[in-house]
Structure 1
């Protein structure tokens, strides 16, 4: 094997290691990573050291397990700044923020998680603030449930299995997803964070695939149920406009 082909293979293996974390929302041990990518532990360890030196993975404090490093977030930052979706969405999100006075966010699905890729923060002194690149599970919160409701059934089943959701909650979640598909939006009150409420609607791309969730969020003291009802049309109209732009 030539030096060039050896280098290419090493790069491929390093990328395969990074992709392990896309499949799992938790930290991974060396043995788990080696088994997932089909490498000897010594080879996996060597590649992890290289990735760690560049900040793409890091060891959990007081643990032998690995998690993604901050360099991944830096790359994501460049992606969201240049991506067609976030660039196109920003003016409409700003308009929606000005109309509602609350924080507007855009989430996409990555595996069985959601990632915040764009945001226009509320101008109110008390507001819902979440970092760009922050990930959350799909089964909690309005945006997550929207992305889950319009995902393939295989994704739904993976969430139920991988998150080890109890059967009683699983049945309730399935009913919620059915309702979201009918209503065209989701509402959550203090599901993910105490004191916070949110509503979200799907954004579709080509082939009617749900590619994002557009959300409005704010403190429950201000963003009440009545307020959310008032903003349903504004939210769904903004999501429909983004769908129209992205499906052409």
Structure 2
């Protein structure tokens, strides 16, 4: 029984790996693309692709396979569940207009943070993360506020994914404590050289952290005075959004 369950879980994971190869930049994948992208045997790939096609999760074309119509239904359900309140959308748009930097909303999931909403900077040189993208939690301004209430066991799991591994734990703990004390977090080149961010927590009805609101962009535009201005504005907006609450899973 356990062997059968493990095989089933493995098949589901492989199917998800195949679907994850589809991106905005690569909306169509071939069998060869899938074999190279997953490392699976061609016979295994063909069997999985046939199953995904039968369920409508993939759609065969002359050029390869694209996202199937069943995903459209799931996307509609996800949008209905996760659509952001208009107040948040306006707040993010206004923040980006005032400071001319990209505004993101991140939520934490296990060892990663996920981009839930974004308002791009109007400047040619800007930082952009696609909605749905997952980023690590071992660094970055948003990670520091999202992990405020995380226990040491979870932090130890997170630092295993960091470049310096377990040695990063004291640094991460210090960052989290500093962010909790100040009410906001700042990062410069922690995850990617030349990239800076300022983040504030958004709390749910129970008082726990449900999201992080960030301003991010090139480090050259994140000097001391700019960071102070960004932080003041973000803290004020974050407080308003926390008081407003969310009418979807973030509101739990």
TM-score of the superposed pair, with normalisation by structure 1: 0.70
Corresponding position of 2:5: 39
What residue in structure 1 maps to residue 39 of structure 2? 63
Name which of structure 1's ranges 166-175 and 183-192 shifts more when overlaid on structure 2. Answer: 166-175
What per-residue deviation string (whole Å, max 9, x for no partner) do you get for residues 134-174 of structure 1?
10111111112211123344432432356585443211111
Q: Is the 8 A contact 2:156 2:166 kept in 1?
A: no
| TM-superposed deviation, 1:180 | 1.0
- Structure 1 122/78 Cα, relative in aligned 2: closer, same or farther at 3 Å? farther
Q: Secondary structure at the match of 1:149?
A: coil
Tell me whether 1:79 sits opposite 2:78 in the alignment.
yes
Task: Map residues 1-248 of structure 1 onto 2, 5 A cutoff.
Answer: 39=5, 41=7, 43=8, 51=15, 55=19, 61=37, 63-64=39-40, 75=74, 79-80=78-79, 83=82, 85=84, 87-161=86-160, 166-246=165-245
* Deviation >3 Å, runs of 4+: 43-49, 51-60, 69-78, 84-88, 150-154, 160-168
Give the equivalent residue in structure 1 for 2:30.
none
Q: Which moved more, 1:162-171 or 1:113-122?
A: 162-171
1:204/1:212 contact within 8 Å kept: yes
Cα RMSD for the two superposed structures: 3.5
Report the CA distance shift for 1:90/1:152 in structure 2 as closer, same or farther (over 3 A).
Answer: farther
Aligned mates of 1:147, 1:178 — CA distance in 2: 12
Shift of 1:53: 11
Aligned match of 2:54: none
Shift in Å at residue 89 of structure 1?
1.3
In 2: Cα distance, 1:73 partner to 1:105 partner: 25
Q: 1:86–1:118: 8 Å Cα contact kept in structure 2?
A: no
CA shift for structure 1 position 191: 1.4
* Deviation digits for residues 29-66 of structure 1 (CA, Å, limit 9, x no counterpart): xxxxx87xx6253x5566567x4699368666262399
> CA deviation digits over 1:67-112, x for unaligned, max 9?
xx99699756863575254544111111111221111000001111
Q: Give the TM-score normalised by structure 2.
A: 0.69
Count the aligned residue pairs. Answer: 209
The question of whether the paired residues in 2 share the 8 Å contact of 1:199 and 1:215 is answered with yes
| Gap regions ≥5 residues in structure 2 | 22-33, 46-57, 59-65
1:206 is paired with a residue whose SS is coil
- Residues 73 and 180 of structure 1: is their aligned pair in 2 closer, same or farther, counting only changes over 3 Å? farther
Unaligned runs of 5+ in 1: 1-33
